[in-house]
């Protein structure tokens, strides 16, 4: 990864659940987003910002003044421009590191999805497109994150009916969902579309990163007026006419990056280890915590820059004031190929 790329994604790489390995997964991913309206316009900037390496946006519609209260990636001066092209321009300006392709043709049964897709985001506003995308998901074995919104109600979920016991979109919505009407016909508050689209992007990132609560079958339902959200885990409808007869596959195991182990000081006895204290000098001065001589002082930021100064042949036990920075440091070292790392439980000292 280049310095510029590292700077761009630093704040999410710092999360032990993401790290460099997670960032590489995001960069390797290709997501097709169908619809750059209220849902897509909210989801797309966060996918691009997070560094999804390849995004294909489909929309044949043009920007209208009545879109702008919820589709805030577009400018008043872009009225009349194609949404897929305007969105692609916005995303490329936001993150020039990624590839964005705009498809301006109406999405119908003749539309091909790109090869090697990792996810389909259904941000469309009509049942016909949703059904086509569900069929494409089943045919190509690509998970579908579908969303719909109207007024103050929204829902989104991850569908993958080609897996045993996992629902397809049709299992749940054999007919047009009550709240999936076209926003042109029924009213909508901009933030309801924005929040639903943002959850759709959140599920997409979580799915690619392998977070265990964001796997196929996870459905979220929102009431933005009552401020209620429900999370459901649903299974396949065994009578679903769309997915019951297709060849089912075993669901892939999750590839969530394992967290480094937390070890107590007494667990380290007899091991060839060295403590790496990642706290600031002021913290160390006011509370040394560990006073033996097998210790290296290196603040968290320095660990990321100078990790290769740390010995590879010893167990590196990272230490901080509350096990958070030490977890980040240990995860970082793991992602850089250091196998012998752990978090030294600060409360065991
Ligand atoms: Zn089904």
- pLDDT, tens digit (0-9, with 9 covering 90-100), for 104-115: 999 999 999 998
- Specify whether the CB–CB gap between 122 and 109 falls below 8 A: no
Question: Confidence band (pLDDT; 50, 70, 90) for 71?
Answer: very high
CATH number reported for the structural domain that contains residue 336 in this entry: 3.40.250.10
pTM of the model: 0.77
Q: What angle in degrees, to the nearest 10, is found between the helix axes of 3-13 and 19-28?
A: 110
Question: Confidence band (pLDDT; 50, 70, 90) for 257?
Answer: low
Q: What pLDDT score was predicted for residue 16?
A: 86
Residue where a domain stops, chosen among 185, 217, 233? 233
Clarify whether residues 131 and 87 are in a common domain. Answer: yes
In a domain, 88, yes or no: yes
Distance 277 CA to ligand 1 centre (A): 52
In a domain, 241, yes or no: no
Clarify whether residues 218 and 93 are in a common domain. Answer: yes
CA distance 290 to 321: 11
Distance 236 CA to ligand 1 centre (A): 6
In a domain, 283, yes or no: yes
In a domain, 266, yes or no: yes
Question: Confidence band (pLDDT; 50, 70, 90) for 12?
Answer: very high
Distance 2 CA to ligand 1 centre (A): 43
Distance 255 CA to ligand 1 centre (A): 25
CA distance 34 to 129: 9
- Mean pLDDT over 95-123 rounds to 95
In a domain, 254, yes or no: no
Distance 157 CA to ligand 1 centre (A): 13
Distance 296 CA to ligand 1 centre (A): 56
**Does residue 178 surpass a pLDDT of 70?**
no
**Does residue 185 surpass a pLDDT of 70?**
no
CA distance 132 to 136: 6
Token pair for 323: 């096990």
Distance 318 CA to ligand 1 centre (A): 48
Question: Domain range for residue 229?
Answer: 3-233
CA distance 326 to 344: 8
Clarify whether residues 157 and 196 are in a common domain. Answer: yes
**Does residue 258 surpass a pLDDT of 70?**
no
How many domains does the chain divide into?
2
In a domain, 240, yes or no: no
CA distance 193 to 158: 18
Clarify whether residues 26 and 138 are in a common domain. Answer: yes
- Mean pLDDT over 86-106 rounds to 97
In a domain, 64, yes or no: yes
Distance 152 CA to ligand 1 centre (A): 27
- Specify whether the CB–CB gap between 157 and 206 falls below 8 A: no
Q: What pLDDT score was predicted for residue 3?
A: 86
């Amino acid at each position: 990864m280049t310095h510029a790329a590292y700077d761009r994604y630093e704040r999410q790489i710092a999360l032990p659940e993401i790290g460099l390995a997670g960032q590489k997964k995001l960069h390797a991913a290709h997501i097709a987003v169908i619809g750059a309206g209220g849902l897509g316009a909210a989801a797309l900037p966060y996918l691009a910002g997070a560094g999804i390496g390849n995004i294909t946006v489909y929309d044949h519609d043009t920007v209208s003044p009545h879109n702008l209260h919820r589709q805030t990636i577009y400018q008043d001066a872009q009225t009349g421009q194609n949404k897929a092209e305007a969105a692609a321009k916005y995303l490329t300006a936001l993150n020039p590191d990624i590839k964005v392709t705009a498809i301006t043709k109406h999405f119908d049964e003749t539309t091909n999805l790109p090869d090697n897709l990792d996810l389909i985001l259904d941000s469309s506003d009509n049942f016909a497109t949703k059904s086509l995308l569900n069929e494409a998901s089943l045919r190509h074995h690509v998970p579908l994150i579908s969303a719909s919104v109207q007024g103050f109600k929204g829902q989104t979920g991850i569908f993958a009916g080609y897996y045993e016991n996992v629902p397809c979109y049709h299992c749940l919505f054999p007919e047009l969902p009550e709240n999936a009407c076209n926003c042109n016909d029924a009213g909508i508050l901009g933030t309801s579309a924005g929040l639903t689209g943002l959850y759709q992007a959140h599920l997409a990132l979580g799915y690619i990163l392998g977070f265990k609560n964001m796997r196929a079958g996870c459905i979220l339902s929102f009431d933005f007026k009552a401020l209620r959200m429900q999370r459901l885990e649903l299974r396949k409808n065994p009578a679903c006419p769309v997915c019951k007869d297709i060849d089912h596959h075993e669901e892939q195991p999750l590839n969530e990056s394992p967290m480094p182990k937390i070890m107590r000081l007494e667990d380290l006895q007899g091991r060839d280890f060295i403590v790496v204290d990642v706290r600031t000098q002021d913290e160390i001065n006011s509370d040394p915590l560990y006073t033996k001589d097998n210790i290296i002082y290196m603040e968290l930021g320095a660990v990321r820059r100078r990790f290769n100064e740390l010995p590879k042949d010893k167990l590196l036990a990272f230490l901080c004031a509350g096990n958070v920075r030490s977890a980040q440091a240990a995860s970082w070292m793991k992602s850089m190929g250091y196998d012998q790392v752990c978090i030294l439980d600060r409360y065991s000292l």
